[in-house]
Structure 1
Amino acid sequence: MINNIYKLKSPKYFEKIYSEMNINSDVIVRPKYLSICKADQRYYQGKRESAILDEKLPMALIHEGIGEVIKDNTGEFNVGDIVSLIPNIPHEKNDYLSLNYLESSKFRGSDFDGFTSDLISFKKDRLIKLPEEIDFKVASFLELVSVACHGINRFKEISHGKNEVLGVWGDGSLGFIVSLVLKTYFPKSKVIVFGKHRENLNLFSFADKTYKINEIPEDLVIDHSFECVGSLSSQNAINQIIELSAPQGIISLFGVSEFPVAINTRLILEKGLTFLGISRSEREDFIEAINLIKSNPKMMSYLSNLVTDCIEVKSLLDLTNAFKTDNNKEFGKTIIKWEI
């Protein structure tokens, strides 16, 4: 069977590729709603090193999304089921490491084609049927919620019991989701969000307190912190976190920087701080994210506030316009209703 895949051939230029598809694969899914993330934009805008772009392009982008089951050869799903798409593709099991950290694993939209395709074949364990009550637009970025669940669960495994004050640096979509999940997991803790943009911080109504990064009280001390800034700006964020951290605090790093950043190692040693790196997620994290939203109805309402645009994509021009729209915003998620 011939399938159409819509790949980024070079920065800001998509093309349609014809590819043979094996219809006897486990499950065949048609994308339904997709969500653009910053990683997609870095490829689209050409903001990765040229050697990396040369190695990975052409490639289909987008790793956040949901789809509709078109054919199932396993008996796991019914035709028409709406499923969350897990972008991590493991090739082995490990008794000690999570599958999302194995070097042998592939990740859609990074080192394997993403979701911009007419049809996609999946192993059945890379799909999770969604509850009927979930908002499809919110479900399209469930992957980002699963990353927050994964990171916070890793934090819970190693942190000491004092969680009175938790700080989140970053007033974008990732910071919004991490702080929301934190407040849901730790309702008795004081969750404080730090950012640059007051208009963004005003949307964090569930947080106990918000501060602009240049207006922080001198006597404030944070038990544990979560960095959701990324890029070169993460250098200032991490150093501010180090300064405000209580001794033996955990600093969880969610943000991605293309370049090395300099941090105050002397103060890290003096305070006995622990850094925890977080990247991607796995099936159990998606399940937890779904259950968390189902058991906390207010989360759906808060998460829906992140949806700032929903764009119907019926052509490559529409796909290009969706990326342009997304690149011109400071906050929120651009959702694609996939209609090609």
Structure 2
Amino acid sequence: MINQVYQLVAPRQIEVTYNNEDITRDKVIVRPLYLSICAADQRYYTGSRNQTVLEKKLPMSLIHEGVGEVVYDSKGEYKIGTKVIMVPNMPVEEDEVIAENYLPSSKFRSSGYDGFMQDYVFLDHDRVVAVEGDIDLSTIAYSELVSVSWHAIQRFERKSIKNKNSFGIWGDGNLGYITAILLHKLYPEAKIYVFGKTDFKLSHFSFVEQVYHIHNVPEDVTFDHGFECVGGKGSQSAIDQIIDLISPEGSIALLGVSEYPVEINTRLVLEKGITMIGSSRSGAQDFQNVANFYKAHPDVVDKLSLLKGNEFEVKTINDAVNAFEQDLSTSWGKTVIKWTM
């Protein structure tokens, strides 16, 4: 069959290309329904990545966050019409110790390989996660980002000391909000403090113990463990502030991505015996765990729905371009695309 793929060929320029796909392959064919734009997609779309990187990875279909419905399954494991979360990570090997999202050989959609902006997405059977009930598909479109936070929390749980009475989260954006929701549900007795710089964004964290502006933190504030969800230029000051305030032998989970190296106060890291835990992306099991979490805790989906910003129905390439352009000026939340190409 001929599949239409909508690729970014140059910054701010999307064109359609046609791939001849073999439907007899051992794949699940999924029709995208709702997609969500990520900051990484925007770095490609706006051309803010290194020029060498752009030349190497383009042309490429964007977006790695999305849900769809099964239209064909070569094995018959999924019924036609089953709603599924699409997993963007594509491992080509297994390792007994190293997770699939850390294997250098693994491929990732919308990062050198075509993402979900296609008429149909051809996925391996273990790259789709079925969801049940009348769950809001437009909200769980950004489940990939939820899985990233989930993965980081699981790594933190395995590698940190048993004191887990309080957490500090740096970052008042999407990832900070999701991390706060998950920590609040997973550690219901713990106190959660959120540190940010935008009052409007901080106002969304009404369910945590306390919010602080990063330039107005009381001297006696401390916590057992920290989560850095800032990234970019602000990651260095965030990490520095966490190191200053964290309790001895606490762990710092690093989730924010920075394009440039950052300086770290190693003297205090050593003095306090701090453990720093890096996390990147997630694997298929994380997606399955998140889907199970949705089913067990429907209120989590309700809280996540507050993160949804603008929703655009995309019928044409111009609609897609408009969605990306509008997302650049969004002050809060995730831009969702209703995919009707």
User: Please, what TM-score do these two structures have when normalized by structure 1?
Assistant: 0.98
Equivalent-residue separation in structure 1 for 2:294 and 2:180 (angstroms): 14
Match of 2:2 in 1: 2
Code of the residue aligned with 2:71 in structure 1: it is I
Equivalent-residue separation in structure 1 for 2:177 and 2:18 (angstroms): 39
* Deviation, structure 1 residue 85: 0.1
Equivalent-residue separation in structure 2 for 1:89 and 1:283 (angstroms): 9
* Deviation, structure 1 residue 120: 1.2
Code of the residue aligned with 1:2 in structure 2: it is I
Code of the residue aligned with 2:336 in structure 1: it is I
Code of the residue aligned with 2:293 in structure 1: it is L
Equivalent-residue separation in structure 2 for 1:18 and 1:75 (angstroms): 26
Q: Secondary structure at the match of 2:180?
A: helix
* Deviation, structure 1 residue 21: 1.1
Task: Give 1:1-340 correspondences, 5 Å limit.
Answer: 1-25=1-25, 26-340=27-341
Equivalent-residue separation in structure 2 for 1:204 and 1:247 (angstroms): 27
Q: Deviations over 1:24-45 (max 9, x none)?
A: 1321111110000111011111
Q: Secondary structure at the match of 1:175?
A: helix
* Deviation, structure 1 residue 330: 1.9
* Deviation, structure 1 residue 150: 0.8
> After alignment, is 59-68 or 130-139 more displaced?
130-139
Q: Secondary structure at the match of 2:138?
A: helix
Q: Secondary structure at the match of 2:34?
A: strand
* Deviation, structure 1 residue 247: 1.0
Q: Which runs of 4+ in 1 moved over 2 A?
A: none
TM-align CA RMSD: 0.9
Question: 2:160, 2:275 within 8 Å by CA — same for their partners in 1?
Answer: no
Equivalent-residue separation in structure 2 for 1:307 and 1:155 (angstroms): 27
Q: Deviations over 1:97-148 (max 9, x none)?
A: 1111101100001121100001111111100111123110111011111111
Question: 2:89, 2:283 within 8 Å by CA — same for their partners in 1?
Answer: yes
Q: Secondary structure at the match of 2:68?
A: strand
Code of the residue aligned with 2:168 in structure 1: it is G
Equivalent-residue separation in structure 2 for 1:335 and 1:45 (angstroms): 18
Q: Secondary structure at the match of 2:227?
A: strand
* Deviation, structure 1 residue 61: 0.5
Q: Secondary structure at the match of 1:140?
A: helix
Question: 1:172, 1:330 within 8 Å by CA — same for their partners in 2?
Answer: no
User: Please, what TM-score do these two structures have when normalized by structure 2?
Assistant: 0.98
Q: Which residues of structure 2 form unaligned runs of 5+?
A: none
Equivalent-residue separation in structure 2 for 1:261 and 1:14 (angstroms): 34
Q: Deviations over 1:210-258 (max 9, x none)?
A: 1110111111112100000010110111111111111111000111011
